[in-house]
Amino acid sequence: MLILCFFFVLSLIFFNFAFDVMDIYRMRSQIVFLLRDSKQFIGLTPLPVQAERGTLIPLQHVPVNHQRGNGFRTSGQEEPLGKYQRSQRTFILCIMASLVRRSYSKFSELLLMIECGVKYEVTIGIPVFNVEKYIRDMMDSALKQTFPNIEYLICDDCGTDTSMDIVREYQNNHSRGKDIRIVRQPQNLGVGEARNRIVSEAKGDYLYFLDADDIISPNAIELLYMHAKKYDAEVVYGSYQRIEETDEHVSRTNICYPTIQFLKEYEFASRVYSEYGFLQGTTWNILICLKLFRKHQLRYKRINYLEDYTLTIDLPTYVNRAVMLSDITYFYYCRAGSLSNYHQRSCIKKDEIIATIKAIEEVKKGNYRLRDKPYFSKWMFKVMMTCFYIVCSILRNEKIITPIFPKREIRDVLCPVLTLSEVLGLREWRMKNLALYIWGVLPPSVSVAIIKIVGKWKGLVS
């Protein structure tokens, strides 16, 4: 039986040693149990003078004094072995239990690695659809990251050009090609559904979205990840550069946040909703803890315009710890004809705008979840201001929207969520919310006329 126990312990030690030599070394350091009277304790036993340095003294030969108060006893006298044999058995059982528990933990980790593959710290999620002109620049910038542990998750949204052929070329030939993983949608479902697929498939602890026609700085992931770990942040925002490209010229504008940390409950949300344009309305260039997405089941709407804004407007309500950086880590290309540039398109389908309005209506319905929060009145104002900006966009582009929007439908975009008594009962920003409430209940012609005047004054309507 003793031999079996010996070989069992030896096999456990060998298994642990294969995983982590240093941990086993520390665990097998020279530790002995000493007994004094009826008290048992663990400690490091000094070796006798005649013993060689580094030798482990058997427990039954540890000198112990029979009499109280005499200090260390002289050699030649030994304690009866009964107590020490019992302590030896306890010691062996403790070591075996510790080894079994540690072996089980390590073996579970091994099975998880086999099942899930390589574990990544960060996943860069990239939806791809008909971007063959720009995808090489994007892939080069992503693969040049100084941060080593990155999964590149490409979602093929069933485009008709050679974009995915270019991705496979990188997958086969680049030194980081083994970290590139491709998932394919069953059909073209849009960027929102592509991002949802990435959220479901990602293996990293953090997720970073990158559009297939943009680029990032070489240290983008390293910088964002470093601050996420330093402050235990759920989200880290980098600053970005907006690059407007037309046939005539290229303009560059830096959008820089202050470097700031939000580490208290409600602090981040209260600051974000205090100023309408304080935070970007997109999810690219944000390092987000993947558990946040999955815990709260956050998903993108299946729309072409503001598909990420409908998520990001609510994202701060789920975040307790956030960091914003002034470093520019992302280069956002705004090109003629893209869906995000209504003012540069020759024709806009009314259905696109209606889908966006419906998505904002879904955001409005979430107000009941937030009514007890200290920032609720600010959140409500920001949501309604988003509706105001959509109305201004409709009025600015009414000549190219087909079919046209009747004035009643334009006014109804500002349809209030709260009753008049609820607006008057708000603790903060009462008058701001009241103004938007009134615009949403006035007769359509009057409401649209007022919005046009305000929109022109703010430079939103031509």
- The residue ranges of every structural domain in the chain are 2-116, 120-345, 346-462
Lowest-pLDDT range of 31-40, 245-254, 315-324, 449-458: 31-40
From CA 178, how far away is CA 417, in angstroms rounded? 50
Is pLDDT larger for residue 26 or for residue 184? 184
pLDDT in tens, 366-383: 899 999 999 999 999 999
Over the stretch 19-75, which tens digit does the pLDDT of each residue have?
A: 443 343 333 332 333 233 333 333 333 434 444 444 443 444 444 444 444 444 444
Residue 229 has pLDDT above 70, yes or no: yes
Contacts of 164 (CB under 8 A, 6+ apart): 128, 154, 156, 182
* 316 upstream amide cis, omega within 30 of 0: no
How far is it, in rounded angstroms, from Cα 381 to Cα 275? Answer: 10
Q: Is 310 in contact with 301 (CB distance < 8 Å)?
A: yes
Q: Is the pLDDT of residue 187 over 80?
A: yes
pLDDT score, position 424: 96
Instruction: Measure the CA–CA gap between 256 and 279, rounded to whole angstroms.
Output: 10
Residue 316 has pLDDT above 60, yes or no: yes
Query: Over the stretch 299-308, which tens digit does the pLDDT of each residue have?
Result: 988 776 667 8
pLDDT of 41 reads: 35
For residue 143, the one-letter residue type is: L
Instruction: Say if residue 95's pLDDT is above 70.
Output: no
Model confidence pLDDT, tens digit, residues 267-292: 999 999 999 888 888 889 999 999 99
The Cβ-side half-sphere exposure at 125, using a 13 Å CA radius, reads 28
pLDDT, position 73: 42
Strands 235-245 and 286-289: antiparallel
pLDDT (tens digit, 9 = 90+) per residue, 431-445?
Answer: 999 999 999 999 999
Q: For the domain made up of 120-345, give the CATH fold.
A: Spore Coat Polysaccharide Biosynthesis Protein SpsA; Chain A (3.90.550)
Q: Which residue has the higher pLDDT, 21 or 135?
A: 135
**What is the Cα–Cα distance from 329 to 286, expressed in whole angstroms?**
10
Of residues 219 and 20, the one with the higher pLDDT is: 219
**In 3D, which of 393, 428, 398 has the Cα closest to residue 413?**
393
Task: Give the whole-number percent of the chain exceeding pLDDT 90.
Answer: 60
pLDDT over 90 (residue 231): yes
Residue 324 to residue 429: CA distance in whole angstroms: 25
Band (pLDDT 50/70/90 cuts) for residue 3 is low
Q: How confident is the model at residue 77 (pLDDT cuts 50, 70, 90)?
A: very low
Average pLDDT score over residue span 182-201: 95
Q: Give 355's pLDDT tier (boundaries 50, 70, 90).
A: confident
User: Helix/strand/coil (H, E, C) string of the chain?
Assistant: CHHHHHHHHHHHHHHHHHHCHHHHHHHCCCCEEEEECCEEEEECCCCCCCCCCCCCCCHHHCCCCCCCCCCCCCCCCCCCCHHHHHHHHHHHHHHHHHHHHHHHHHHHHHHHHHHHCCCEEEEEEEEECCCCCCHHHHHHHHHCCCCCCEEEEEEECCCCCCHHHHHHHHHHHCCCHHHEEEEECCCCCCHHHHHHHHHHHCCEEEEEECCCCCEECCCHHHHHHHHHHHCCCCEEEEEEEEEEECCCCEEEEEECCCCEEECCCCHHHHHHCCCCCCCCCCCECEEEEHHHHHHCCCCCCCCCCCCCHHHHCCHHHHCCCEEEEEEEEEEEEEECCCCCCHHHCCCEEHHHHHHHHHHHHHHHHCHHHHCCCCCHHHHHHHHHHHHHHHHHHHHHCCCCEECCCCHHHHHHCCCCCCCHHHHHCCCCCHHHHHHHHHHHHCCHHHHHHHHHHHHHHCCCCC
What confidence category does residue 88 fall into, taking pLDDT thresholds of 50, 70 and 90? low
Which residues, including other chains, have CB under 8 Å from residue 107's CB and lie 6 or more apart?
A: 15
By the 10 Å C-beta count (0-12 exposed, 13-18 middle, 19+ buried), 220 is classed as buried
Supply the pTM of this predicted model. 0.73
Mean pLDDT for the chain?
A: 81
pLDDT greater than 90 at residue 338? no
Q: What pLDDT is recorded for position 85?
A: 56
